[in-house]
């Protein structure tokens, strides 16, 4: 059924549907939770990238027992080595302090940004330069080292552009972390762990990035206890196993697992808070109920004091009546004032209109008697001819027809104008009378409002005296206290009775269910993808292990959590219980087998660089060491992009195995640099 769903809906939609079904949550909620916590489906990983060192060069001053503390004193040294694909080896003849491991650490320092050099060796360095190919792009890390502190840049050799610049140990590590994670298409490894000494605290989340990934490039004595990488914290070996084999769905599983643990811790804390809150509310309810009973009993003892209650009732009624009277008086006064103001405004308007009409009439009469001598527009003089037109009834300025002088015998105003003026005057008289009447009503209302306000003040004083009298005051206070307690008890018995932080818990429960389902379903898909290839890897581990001297090796089981169970000599062993020599062989052959299958499948994310420090140091005889190197050489022949860099003190044992030109052997008793 699941396969048919994936065929029709696609792997991502099918996975989301399965998460919704397993968690019992709606699809919309599933999408929201996963987006909020940064969990997304990784059905296929980006293409693998390849990393290969092409050149390493460094120089500085190495002190001697007789070297003074003066700056610039000591023995100058310089090391330069050009490399290519395949197996490359730094070797000495039985001398352990020949500088082999330091060369490896210089290379790793330039690639991962984190230094593993001994502090004194780092202070000897003055200039470091490492070139490497990232896919097909030639890059250069060049830095000046002063007192062990680097400053420099990562430069593109093709364009000369500075891609990263840094100054200081921490800045170098952070810069290379961001640069390499982006260029190799890797995502940070999400982690979480419980704080020490506080089991109830939320887990501390974090990320492991490029320096942690880079531990999969390095095999050394210090990390023999771990099958992959150099440490086991935060499930790093498991993440490296997925890196070697390019396991789909692994990032989804890890992201969901980390987010789920954080949400689970938050949910546990919320539930504990809810339980504590419920107990606290129950205790508060008991205390409030007891106090309510006491207050009610005290209130009952005051019920016989009827006179105080009667006085209080009487003064309250008087206060209510006074308040009503004051309110009515204020409203009537406001209405009277409004009426008066409206009439006064009307009176002023009529008076202004009448005055304007009178002034207009007089102005008209005045201007008709004028004899203009010049034009008011252009200052031109009025000629005698123009004046002559006045005799014929035309204006001497504009030649318009003049009104008949016979119409002007009524004085300044005509008949109609006189009638309008008289009407205005009569209206003004009527409005003036109405204004005077409204003023009388307003004055009466103001007097009533003043009297009512005074009565209200007196009623308030009388009621306050009654309330503050000892019996009434006690009863009033008790009534308020009882009402308050009754409300508090009802509230806690009502809508707060079942409250157990559900508002906080419900979203967390939903997120926890979704993230659990997301981790479970992604884990199934990731494990199914890994198991098939792990069986083939196990066969290679047995075959190569026997070739490297583990003659009693019968079979191994490589778990999806990067665990290795070994059967040899008829007994079952864990990887950690083996001798250091056996661990070294199995770690190398396991890493080699994983690289081989990752490269063969085309999905392995390991960048194809392997640095091995002292593979012959732990109980490995010459024949076994030679077989181990032969197998690595064969692996690089099958995978031309693979590069293996080895450092060993057994130069004579490996000289015949390492291809010509790829062995850097220090003279007997001397250093490489």
Distance CA 657, CA 622 (A): 11
Q: What per-residue confidence (pLDDT) applies to 487?
A: 75
pTM: 0.61
Q: What per-residue confidence (pLDDT) applies to 501?
A: 47
Q: What per-residue confidence (pLDDT) applies to 572?
A: 95
Enumerate residues 6+ apart whose C-beta is below 8 A from 669.
Answer: 93, 95
Q: What per-residue confidence (pLDDT) applies to 3?
A: 45
153-171 pLDDT per residue, tens? 999 999 999 999 999 999 9
- 43 neighbors 12 (Cβ within 8 angstroms): yes
* Low-confidence spans in the chain with pLDDT less than 50: 1-7, 303-304, 405-406, 408-411, 413, 499-501
User: What Cα–Cα distance (Å) separates residue 366 from each residue in 230, 370, 382?
Assistant: 118, 7, 20
User: What Cα–Cα distance (Å) separates residue 205 from each residue in 195, 202, 261, 419?
Assistant: 10, 9, 10, 99
- 91 neighbors 647 (Cβ within 8 angstroms): yes
Cα–Cα nearest to 547, from 430, 653, 629, 473: 629
What SS3 class is residue 94? coil
- 31 neighbors 515 (Cβ within 8 angstroms): no
Distance CA 424, CA 421 (A): 5
Burial 526-537 (b: 16+ CB within 10 A, else e): bbebbeebbeeb
Q: What per-residue confidence (pLDDT) applies to 2?
A: 45
Query: From the centroid of its chain, how far is CA 390?
Result: 95
Give the pair of three-digit tokens for residue 109: 């320092």
Distance CA 113, CA 107 (A): 10
Please give the span between the terminal C-alpha atoms of the chain, in angstroms, as a whole number: 66
Q: What per-residue confidence (pLDDT) applies to 146?
A: 95
Long-range contacts of 324-328 (CB under 8 A, 24+ apart): 325/452, 325/455, 325/456, 326/449, 326/452, 326/453, 326/455, 326/456, 328/452
Q: What per-residue confidence (pLDDT) applies to 127?
A: 97
- 441 neighbors 342 (Cβ within 8 angstroms): no
Phi, psi at residue 153, to the nearest 5°? -160, 160
The tally of CA atoms less than 13 A away on the side-chain side of residue 399 is 3
Q: What per-residue confidence (pLDDT) applies to 301?
A: 67
Residue-wise DSSP of 510-570? HHHHHHHHHHHHHHHHHHHHHHHHHHHHHHHHHHHHHHTT-TTEEEEEE-TTS-EEEEETT
Q: What per-residue confidence (pLDDT) applies to 492?
A: 65
Distance CA 125, CA 74 (A): 12
């Amino acid at each position: 059924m699941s396969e048919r769903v994936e065929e029709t809906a696609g792997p991502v939609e099918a996975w989301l549907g399965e998460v919704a079904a397993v968690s019992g949550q709606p699809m919309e909620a599933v999408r929201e939770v996963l987006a909020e916590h940064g969990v997304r489906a990784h059905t296929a990983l980006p293409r693998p990238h390849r990393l290969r060192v092409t050149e390493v060069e460094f120089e500085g001053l190495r002190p001697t027992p007789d070297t003074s503390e003066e700056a610039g004193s000591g023995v100058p040294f310089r090391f330069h080595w050009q490399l290519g694909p395949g197996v490359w080896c730094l070797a000495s003849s039985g001398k352990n302090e020949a500088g082999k491991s330091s060369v490896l650490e210089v290379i790793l320092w330039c690639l991962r940004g984190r230094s593993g050099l001994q502090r004194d060796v780092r202070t000897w360095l003055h200039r470091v330069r490492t070139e490497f190919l990232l896919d097909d792009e030639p890059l250069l890390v060049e830095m000046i080292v002063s007192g062990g502190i680097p400053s420099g840049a990562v430069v593109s050799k093709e364009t000369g552009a500075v891609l990263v610049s840094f100054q200081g140990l921490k800045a170098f590590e952070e810069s290379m972390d961001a640069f390499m994670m982006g260029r190799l298409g890797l995502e940070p490894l999400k982690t979480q762990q419980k704080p020490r000494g506080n089991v109830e605290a939320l887990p501390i989340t974090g990320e492991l990035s490029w320096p942690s990934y880079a531990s999969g490039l390095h095999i050394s004595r210090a990390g023999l206890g771990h099958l992959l990488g150099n440490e086991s914290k935060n499930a790093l070996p498991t993440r490296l196993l997925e890196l070697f084999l390019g396991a789909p769905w692994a990032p989804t599983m890890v992201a969901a697992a980390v987010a789920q643990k954080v949400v689970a811790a938050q949910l546990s804390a919320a539930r504990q808070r809810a339980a504590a809150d419920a107990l606290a509310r129950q205790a508060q309810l008991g205390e409030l109920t007891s106090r309510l009973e006491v207050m009610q009993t005290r209130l009952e003892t005051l019920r016989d004091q009827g006179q105080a209650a009667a006085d209080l009732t009487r003064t309250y009624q008087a206060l209510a009546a006074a308040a009503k009277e004051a309110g009515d008086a204020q409203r009537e006064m406001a209405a009277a004032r409004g009426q008066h103001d409206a009439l006064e405004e009307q009176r002023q308007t009529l008076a202004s209109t009448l005055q304007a009409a009178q002034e207009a009439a007089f102005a008209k009469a005045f201007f008709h008697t004028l004899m203009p001598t010049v034009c008011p527009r252009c200052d031109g003089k009025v000629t005698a001819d123009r004046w002559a037109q006045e005799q014929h009834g035309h204006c001497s300025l504009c030649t318009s027809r003049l009104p008949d002088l016979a119409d002007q015998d009524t004085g300044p105003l005509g008949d109609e104008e006189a009638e309008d003026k008289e009407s205005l005057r009569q209206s003004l008289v009527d409005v003036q009378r109405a204004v005077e009447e409204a003023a009388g009503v307003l004055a009466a209302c103001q007097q009533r409002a003043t009297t009512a306000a005074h009565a209200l003040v007196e009623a308030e004083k009388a009621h306050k005296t009654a309330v503050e009298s000892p019996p009434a005051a006690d009863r009033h206070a008790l009534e308020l206290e009882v009402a308050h307690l009754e409300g508090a008890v009802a509230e806690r018995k009502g809508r707060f009775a079942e409250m157990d932080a559900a508002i906080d818990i419900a979203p967390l429960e939903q997120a926890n269910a979704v993230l659990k389902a997301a981790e479970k379903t992604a884990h199934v898909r990731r494990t199914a993808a890994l198991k098939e290839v792990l069986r083939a890897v196990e066969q290679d581990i047995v075959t190569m292990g026997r070739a490297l001297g583990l003659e009693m090796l019968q079979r191994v089981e490589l778990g999806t959590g990067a665990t290795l169970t070994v059967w040899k000599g008829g007994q079952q062993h864990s990887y950690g219980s083996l001798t250091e020599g056996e661990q070294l062989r199995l770690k190398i052959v396991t890493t080699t087998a994983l690289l081989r299958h990752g490269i063969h499948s085309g999905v392995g994310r390991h960048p194809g660089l392997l640095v091995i420090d002292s593979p012959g140091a732990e109980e490995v005889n010459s024949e076994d060491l030679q077989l181990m190197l032969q197998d690595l050489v064969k692996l690089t022949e099958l995978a031309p992009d693979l590069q293996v860099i080895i450092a060993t003190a057994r130069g004579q044992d490996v000289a015949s195995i390492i291809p010509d030109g790829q062995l850097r052997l220090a003279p007997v008793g001397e250093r490489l640099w």
